[in-house]
Amino acid sequence: MTISLPERVSQSAFDGSRLRVVMLVDLHDGTQKRFLDAYEQIRHHVAATPGHLNDQLCQSFENPSQWLITSEWESAPQFLDWVNSEAHIEQIRPLSACIRTTSSMRFNVLRETGERVTGGAVQQAPRLGDDLVRHALTFTVRPGSEEAVAKLLADYDPPSAKVDDSTRLCRTTLFMHGNRVVRTVEVKGDLTKALRYVARQPEVRAVEEAINPYLEVDRDLDDPDAARLFFTRAALPAVHHVAAHDRAAAGSVGRHALYYRARPGQGSALARFLAQQAEAAADLPKSPVLSSTVFQRDDIVVRLIEVRGPLDKDPVAALALQGDRKAAVLDRLLDSTAYQPPADAGQPAQLLARTGMRLITDRLAAPDA
């Protein structure tokens, strides 16, 4: 008997295909020479970055204040390693001072015509999307302030979901693990535009100002450069998402987050392992996990899952550890000492309790908002 597998909604940074990054920038008046000088200073440093293939700087002939920077990379993880690094933050600082607005998009190469670029591969097949962009932000607060911060984050009034005619906020979920805060967002339309919109809303600004005294790293949201730096360092990109479109969701469905602290230098490998496991689990019709999103930056990995029924009913499925020796692989990638008491991947129920994050608030926008 042939069993039809669920149709998948998926995105992935780990399919091995080349990545094309497109950034459209609008410059402040009178900064073109500074912008060009800054670009000239950094482009050779960027070219020496592992995985970088080429880049181009283009100027609009219709509106000379608009510039386009494109780059190509052997794979998405190599680009993410660079764009999330402190080296990148320092390299682009002179450029950022010249830019009024910017919009960045990232694409896997699916088809190409003409001479092929050396390095990387093309995406084998198009993926099915659900018209949502997923992203997360993370930061830490001072130990001992967790309850005060949780109350502030839970009690704020959310802004209107509509950003403009093409962009809207769909869902925002906040979790905490010890003194670490993780905010996941789902946006329809332009992510950058949505994040800027949220940051400008009075109700959001009031909460951000209220939690400032509790942050481990100071920030000044009234200073555009300082705010940009904070949110760049807080970014926790979605590197993998998979969901079965036609899997029946009978019974209650809960949203949960798991916090995985990787061994030093193993963050990308851990995220890749969890992504592979989530893909395999999507083939199991009876799996209680309906969707899985992996967010990763450096050695911080967070997995957001939708689960049918209690989270702890099937710890192996919740942790994506199906298969022989998978717990041993996870144990080699996980920094067990980052949890108190230490975590043991060989004990799924124990590990689930250690990695599980506390849900602070989950806001789903009304369909007609």
Closest CA to 298 of 79, 80, 50: 80
pLDDT for residue 1 is more than 70 = no
Amino acid at position 52, single letter: H
Average pLDDT, the chain: 88
CB contact at 8 A, 184 and 172: yes
Delimit the CATH 3.30.70.1090 region(s) of the chain: 133-237
pTM: 0.91
Picking from 267, 273, 191, the residue whose alpha carbon sits closest to that of residue 14 is: 273
pLDDT in tens, 247-280: 555 568 899 999 999 999 999 999 999 999 998 8
Q: Which CATH architecture has domain 238-245+252-360?
A: 2-Layer Sandwich (3.30)
- What lies within 8 Å, CB to CB, of 233 at 6+ separation is 89, 217
| The CATH number, out of the four listed (3.40.50.1220, 3.30.1950.10, 3.40.50.20, 3.30.70.100), of the domain defined by the range 19-108 | 3.30.70.100
pLDDT at 141: 96
* Residue-level pLDDT at 257: 97
Query: Number of C-alpha atoms within 13 angstroms, CB side, residue 119?
Result: 14
At residue 269, what is the residue type?
A: A
For tokens 């990308």, the residue is 268
Tell me whether strands 289-297 and 52-59 are parallel, antiparallel or unpaired.
unpaired
Residue 5, pLDDT > 50, answer no
Query: For the segment 43-90, what is each residue's pLDDT rounded down to a tens digit?
Result: 988 999 999 999 999 999 998 888 999 999 999 999 999 998 888 888
The structure tokens listed for 361 are 């608030």
Backbone angles phi, psi at 81, to 5 degrees: -60, -40
Q: What is the CA radius of gyration of the chain?
A: 21
State the DSSP string of 203-255: HHHHHHHHHGGGBSS---TTSHHHHHHHHHHHEEEEEEEEEETT----S-EEE
Q: Model confidence over 176-186: pLDDT tens digits?
A: 999 999 999 99
Over residues 210-246, the pLDDT tens digits come to 999 999 988 887 777 777 788 888 999 999 999 976 5
Spatial distance between the Cα atoms of 71 and 80, rounded to a whole number of angstroms: 13
Give CA angle at 238 (234, 243), nearest 5°: 150
CA distance 323 to 350: 18
User: What is the predicted pLDDT for the residue at 250?
Assistant: 53
CB 265 within 8 A of CB 27: no
Q: What is the pLDDT of residues 184-198, one digit of tens each?
A: 999 999 888 888 888
What does the alpha-carbon distance between residue 47 and residue 60 come to, in Å, rounded to a whole number? 23
Contacts of 77 (CB under 8 A, 6+ apart): 13, 14, 51, 239, 268, 272
Please, are residues 169 and 365 in contact by the beta-carbon 8 Å criterion? Answer: yes
Cα dihedral value 330, 134, 178, 349, nearest 10: -40
Q: Which fold has domain 133-237?
A: Alpha-Beta Plaits (3.30.70)
Higher pLDDT among residues 35 and 284, named by residue: 35
